[in-house]
Amino acid sequence: MRVITFFLIILSLPSFGQLNTQLYNAYDHYQEKSLTTRRFKHNDIMAVIDKLGKDFKVNQVGTSVEGRAIKRVTYGNGPINVLMWSQMHGDETTATRAIMDVFHWLEADDQFNAVRNKIKTAITWHFIPMLNPDGASRFTRRNHFGIDINRDAVHLQTPEGRTLKHVRDSLQADWGFNLHDQSRGTSVENKMPATISLLAPAFDVSKSINEKRGDAMQLTKLMFDQIAQYLPGQMAIYDDTFEPRAFGDNIQKWGTRTILIESGGYKDDYEKQEIRKLNFVLLITAANAIANKDFEKIPVADYNKIPSNGDGRIRELILKNVQYEGLLRDVAFDRSEVDSEDYRNYYARGYITDLGDLSTSQAFFTLDAKDYEVLPGKVYEKELANVDALNTLDVEQLLKDGYTDYIVLKDYDPFTMKKPIHVHTKMPVANETIRMGGDPSLLFKKNGKIIYSVINGHLIKL
C-alpha cells in the first residue's frame, strides 16, 4: 500500500516540479559575489548592470530627487510583458540582490538553456532594480523628501513613483512583481517567522476577485509551492487589506496582474543571503510558470490554503523561566541596528522588550533556563588602556570563566568590535538588572559549570 501511494505522489507532480530544486542547487554559479550584505548602494548595482551583455537592453527611465539614474533592464522578446521592481523602500534590499543573480542566470549558457529560451520567446522581462536609490544611500525607507513612495501611487509627487507609473503604463504590463522586505519579526499566525510572505493585492475594499487578480492568486499559490519545502511553516500571505495609496494595490487595479513578495526574517541570516537565494528561485520559477502558463492549473481557491501573517512579533531571543533577583520571569530580547556614517556598516544592540509570562510568544532563539542557575556576568577586574589591549587576553576562555564585560579607558570604534563581549568606556560599570530596555549580561550555570551566556541579547553556548 505504501509503495502504491509513493508512486501516485510521483506521478501527480506537475512538470515544473524540478526546476525549483535545480535552481536552488545551482544557485552559487549565478550569485553576484560583490553584494554580500544588505547595505549596498546605487553605484554597486550600476557596476553590475553596466557589464551586462547583448542579451539585455538597459534604458534610463527616470532620475531620483538627488539625481541618481533609475534604470530598466529588459530581457527577451515575447508577447507577455512582465515587470519586476525592487527597493521602492531604500532599506529593503533582498530582492535587488536576487535580481542581479537572475541577470547572471539569464546570461549563462548551460543546462538551463531550454528554460531560458522558453522564457525569452514567451515573455519580455523588465526589471527596475532599486527604484529608490536616494533612500538606499542612507539605508532608509523613504525618498529624499521623506515621502513613502508606496503611498504615492495616486498623488505621484515623487519622481521615483512617477517613473514606476510611467513604465507600467507604457508597457501595459501583463504582470507586475512588487518586491519588498518586511520586518524580521513578522510572523506566520504568531507561530513562526514569516520568512517569505506573498500577496495578490486587492484592488478594492471588498477584495473582489476578477479574472486578472484570479490569475495572480493562481501564480501566487504556485510560487508558494516552489519554495515551501525550504521554509516549512515559514511562508504566509501578507495583510490583504486594500491600501488605496499603495502601488501594488493600484497596479492590480490598473489591470496588471500583481504579486507582492515580502522577504522577512530567517534564523541568524541577518544579511538575508539565504532569503535572497529563495527570491532567486521564486523570480525565475514565476517567469517560467508565466511562459508555460503552468499557473492556470492551480485552482484559485487554493490561494486561501496559505496561512496569513500574524499580528504578533517573533522575538529575537526568549529566555524562559529565569529565576533572578527573587523573581521567576520569561525575558525577551530584540535587536536594533546602529548605522555607520556612510550607511555601509552597522552594529547591533540587544535590549529587553518584554518580561513576565511570555508563554504565548515565539522567538528565533529560545533557552529554557528552568534547570539553570542564572547569574550576572562578571566585569573583568583590570581596566584596559584601549580596545587593542583586549587582543592580549584570551577573551573566549575568560568568557567560560564568566567574564562578559570589560572596561576600556579610551573611546573606541564600535563598528570594528567583533568579539562577543560588552565593552564599556564609562564608569562605574555595574551589570544591569533585568528591566525593560535593559541589556544585562547573564550566565547560565548547571552543575557548577557555565553552559550559556547572554551578552548584548545574543545567546552564546560555551
The C-alpha angle 340, 342, 346, rounded to 5 degrees, equals: 25
Pick the closer one to Zn ion by CB: 39 or 120.
39
Instruction: Give the other-Cβ count within 10 Å of 339's Cβ.
Output: 16
Beta strand pairing status for 123-128 and 80-86? parallel
Pick the closer one to Zn ion by CB: 31 or 186.
186
Phi-psi region of 293 (alpha: psi -120 to 50; beta: other; left: phi over 0): left
Interaction mask 176-195, Zn ion, x per CB under 5 A: ----x---------------
Applying the rule CB under 5 A, the residues between 363 and 392 that interact with Zn ion are: none
- Reference 146, options 90, 225, 216, 198; nearest CA is 90
Cα 341 → chain centroid: 23
Stretch that binds Zn ion, among 3-11, 86-94, 152-160, 397-405 (CB under 5 A): 86-94
Pick the closer one to Zn ion by CB: 68 or 89.
89
Is 158 in contact with 165 (CB distance < 8 Å)? no
Pick the closer one to Zn ion by CB: 99 or 421.
99
# chain residues binding Zn ion, by CB under 5 A: 3
C-alpha cell, 146: 521623506
The C-alpha angle 307, 232, 238, rounded to 5 degrees, equals: 30
Dist. CA 340–CA 41, nearest whole Å:
14
Pick the closer one to Zn ion by CB: 135 or 376.
135
- Minimal distance, residue 263 CB to Zn ion, in Å: 10
Does the bond joining 79 to the residue before it have cis omega, within 30 degrees of 0?
A: no
Measured CA distances, 458 to 349, 379, 415 (Å)? 9, 17, 17
- Minimal distance, residue 369 CB to Zn ion, in Å: 37
Pick the closer one to Zn ion by CB: 49 or 88.
88
Dist. CA 109–CA 120, nearest whole Å:
13
Interaction mask 32-71, Zn ion, x per CB under 5 A: ----------------------------------------
- Minimal distance, residue 155 CB to Zn ion, in Å: 18
C-alpha cell, 50: 553596466
Pick the closer one to Zn ion by CB: 89 or 253.
89
Stretch that binds Zn ion, among 83-91, 211-219, 228-236, 243-251 (CB under 5 A): 83-91
Stretch that binds Zn ion, among 85-93, 130-138, 269-277, 452-460 (CB under 5 A): 85-93
Measured CA distances, 294 to 44, 49, 58, 446 (Å)? 35, 30, 29, 56
Close Cβ partners of 408 (under 8 Å, ≥ 6 residues apart): 383, 384, 385, 386, 387, 389, 390, 423, 424, 425
- Minimal distance, residue 93 CB to Zn ion, in Å: 11
The residue number with the shortest CB distance to Zn ion is: 180
Interaction mask 132-171, Zn ion, x per CB under 5 A: ----------------------------------------
- Please select the residue that binds Zn ion; options are 89, 97, 165, 213, rule is CB under 5 A: 89
- Minimal distance, residue 258 CB to Zn ion, in Å: 14
Half-sphere exposure of 269 (CA within 13 A, CB side): 17
- Minimal distance, residue 141 CB to Zn ion, in Å: 7
- Minimal distance, residue 179 CB to Zn ion, in Å: 9
Stretch that binds Zn ion, among 1-9, 54-62, 92-100, 437-445 (CB under 5 A): 92-100
Pick the closer one to Zn ion by CB: 134 or 294.
134
Is 143 in contact with 158 (CB distance < 8 Å)? yes
C-alpha cell, 372: 539553570
Is 88 in contact with 129 (CB distance < 8 Å)? no
Applying the rule CB under 5 A, the residues between 212 and 271 that interact with Zn ion are: none
Pick the closer one to Zn ion by CB: 178 or 404.
178
- Minimal distance, residue 89 CB to Zn ion, in Å: 4
- Minimal distance, residue 92 CB to Zn ion, in Å: 5
Stretch that binds Zn ion, among 82-90, 159-167, 335-343, 441-449 (CB under 5 A): 82-90
Helix H or strand E encompassing 62: strand 56-63
- Minimal distance, residue 245 CB to Zn ion, in Å: 13
Stretch that binds Zn ion, among 38-46, 110-118, 172-180, 393-401 (CB under 5 A): 172-180
Q: What is residue 451's three-state secondary structure? A: strand
Dist. CA 385–CA 227, nearest whole Å:
52
- Minimal distance, residue 404 CB to Zn ion, in Å: 37
Stretch that binds Zn ion, among 32-40, 89-97, 279-287, 398-406 (CB under 5 A): 89-97
Which residues in this chain contact Zn ion in the complex, by CB under 5 A? 89, 92, 180
